[in-house]
């Protein structure tokens, strides 16, 4: 088994590390402070081919594999988890289900928009009373001649107030439970589509999160994604892939926090020597490095399995669970090394710790990941 990255993947990492250092890091603190969507950098990422990078070349994408995508998200998240989140949502939760389940006509129309067309994508599943229990969703879609009429609302939608294309899940037959859920491709320009509340969050301030409202929203019949009643399966398959992106995001946050702490402790002198020379500090860094290596192996394994067309549900859940808990623990311990300075906004650790927390919650809480894992180990 070869654990070495290919030359192509090494080049992807180099490109994204340079972009993150030169373009993302300088504005990360201001992005968080102002809750400003990093529009210019997202446009640059479109130009680099990162947005929609796994889209096949014939539809305008780079034809990259899931591992390349994970590496991009990991590198971006080392300095700005908001930027990593925007990319992960666009690539994993919007482009991917259209690639996997779309008709030829849908792929030919929407994938070029989401790559060369610089249109941002989003994913609409969560509702106020339907979080982990997605089957409780109340948004309805009724067929009316040559179109569906959608009514309802979705909450906590990443990219919500900047996105142009949404993959939306709605009940086409409530009597069938999960088998009554269908998926649709919805454009923000469709009649009856509107953006509701803009969420003010604890972290990820640069990632635009909003409520999406459908009021007699007209969706062409041909925008049904997959078959009617198969939406729940599409949602779960999409979240499997999306969890690789969140694992990569969490891994990046942890790695960024460790790098910041190492630089700080080498320069901070107490009791006559840098605090990096104290054994307790070194043991803490050893644990961080070990968990990052383990998290990277889990994440890359899941990405490779996905790229090979093999089942990866368990592996993605393990990667997401491990890396998100690693990010939370690492940012907490790294902040502690800064003492009182870490609790101020003069350093990025408090931002990184706030950003890390959401990785334990969205795209399936840590509790849900344990349910997924236990259900896939033969119990």
Those residues of the chain that have pLDDT short of 70 are: 1
Query: What pLDDT sits at residue 149?
Result: 98
Q: Is the pTM here over 0.85, yes or no?
A: yes
Q: Which of 74, 211, 360, 363 is catalytic?
A: 363
Query: What pLDDT sits at residue 7?
Result: 95
Query: What pLDDT sits at residue 83?
Result: 98
Query: What pLDDT sits at residue 134?
Result: 77
Query: What pLDDT sits at residue 3?
Result: 82
Query: What pLDDT sits at residue 291?
Result: 98
Query: What pLDDT sits at residue 135?
Result: 76
Mean pLDDT, the chain, rounded, equals: 96
Other residues' Cβ atoms within 10 Å of the Cβ of residue 233: 16
The sign one gets for the Cα dihedral 118, 124, 126, 132 is negative
- Residue 363 annotated as catalytic: yes
For the chain, which domains are there? 7-114 (1.10.540.10), 121-229 (2.40.110.10), 232-377 (1.20.140.10)
Q: List strand residue ranges (DSSP E) for the chain, in order.
A: 121-124, 140-144, 147-158, 165-171, 181-187, 193-198, 209-220, 224-225, 269-270, 273-274
Closest listed residue to residue 250, CA positions, set 335, 333, 357:
357
Query: What pLDDT sits at residue 379?
Result: 82
């Amino acid at each position: 088994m070869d654990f070495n990255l290919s030359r192509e993947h090494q080049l992807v990492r180099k490109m994204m590390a340079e972009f993150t250092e030169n373009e993302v890091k300088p504005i990360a603190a201001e992005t968080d402070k102002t809750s400003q969507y990093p529009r210019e950098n997202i446009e640059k990422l479109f130009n680099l081919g990162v947005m929609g990078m796994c889209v096949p070349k014939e539809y305008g994408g780079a034809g990259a594999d899931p591992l390349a995508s994970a590496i991009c998200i990991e590198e971006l998240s080392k300095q700005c988890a908001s930027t990593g989140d925007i990319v992960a949502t666009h690539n994993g939760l919007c482009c991917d289900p259209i690639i996997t389940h779309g008709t030829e006509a849908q792929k030919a129309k929407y994938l070029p928009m989401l790559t060369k067309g610089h249109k941002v994508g989003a994913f609409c599943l969560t509702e106020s009373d339907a979080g982990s229990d997605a089957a409780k969703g109340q948004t309805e879609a009724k067929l009316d001649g040559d179109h569906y009429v959608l009514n309802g609302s979705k909450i906590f939608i990443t990219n919500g107030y900047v996105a142009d294309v949404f993959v939306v899940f709605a009940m086409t037959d409530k009597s069938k439970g999960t088998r009554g859920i269908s998926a649709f491709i919805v454009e923000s320009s469709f009649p009856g589509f509107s953006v509701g509340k803009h969420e003010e969050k604890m972290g990820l301030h640069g990632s635009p999160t909003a409520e999406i409202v459908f009021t007699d929203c007209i969706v062409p019949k041909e925008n049904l994604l997959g078959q009617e009643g198969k939406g729940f399966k599409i949602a779960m398959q999409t979240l499997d892939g999306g969890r690789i992106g969140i694992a990569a995001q969490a891994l990046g946050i942890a790695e960024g926090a460790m790098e910041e702490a190492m630089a700080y402790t080498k320069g901070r002198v107490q009791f006559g020597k840098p605090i990096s020379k104290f054994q307790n500090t070194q043991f803490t860094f050893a644990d961080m490095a070990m968990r990052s290596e383990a998290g990277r192996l889990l994440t890359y394994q899941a990405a490779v399995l996905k790229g090979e067309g093999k089942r990866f549900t368990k592996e993605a859940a393990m990667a997401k669970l491990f890396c998100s808990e690693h990010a939370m623990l690492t940012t907490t311990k790294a902040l502690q090394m800064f003492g009182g300075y870490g609790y101020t906004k003069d350093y990025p650790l408090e931002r990184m710790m706030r950003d890390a927390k959401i990785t334990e919650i969205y795209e399936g809480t840590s509790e849900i990941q344990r349910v997924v894992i236990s259900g896939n180990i033969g119990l």
